[in-house]
Amino acid sequence: MAVAQGGRKAFVVGGTGETGKVLLQELLKRNTFQRLVSISRRKVEYQDESYNKLEQTVVDFDKLESDHSEAFQGFDVGFCLLGTTKGKAGAGEVEEECKKLDFEKLSIFRPGVLLMKDGRQEQRFGEKMAIFVLKPISWACPTFITTPVETVAGAMVNCTVSPTDNKVETLEIADIFKMAEEKK
């Protein structure tokens, strides 16, 4: 288990989603940060005592700039897991806007179709059909079009502790698998 690095602090936006839940578990298990805050619309009641170290900040995402900008101040690392489909999000546009924010380091993850161990809590019919078709493909070619949420979360954590000369890095499916395998 890694020990919190030099008092570093991190926030997670999207910690109630499928990948976000796994990321929070991984961050708490590894003890990577001295302070870990989940920023979300509502407070979550966690039963597991490993979440005792997690702080929660509730915000109105429609009023971030006017009412809640301080919620994002004083952190060394931010994880944003507000996922959606490429069609809905205009993914390329979001990535370009993030690049303009001139972060010290920006890691963009493109995991393809996300796979959950027990299935997604809110699964759409199209997703069910896609997963039915893609599961055998992902078994035969694991880095072709799908990525398990555990792999994405592991890669995200490893990425925060990996030195790099790249100010902006984009991790495609194969890169995510490779980053997740690195032991930190």
| More confident: 137 or 51 | 51
Q: How far is CA 132 from CA 125, 129, 147, 183, in A?
A: 11, 5, 14, 31
The Cα 149–Cα 146 span in angstroms is 10
Residue 1 pLDDT > 60: no
Do residues 114 and 179 make contact, with C-beta atoms less than 8 angstroms apart? no
What confidence score (pLDDT) does residue 156 get? 97
pLDDT tens digits, residue range 54-100? 999 999 999 988 899 999 999 999 999 986 655 555 667 888 888 99
pTM of the model: 0.85
What confidence score (pLDDT) does residue 134 get? 76
* Token digits of residue 104: 């010290």
Residue 124 pLDDT > 80: no
The Cα 56–Cα 175 span in angstroms is 31
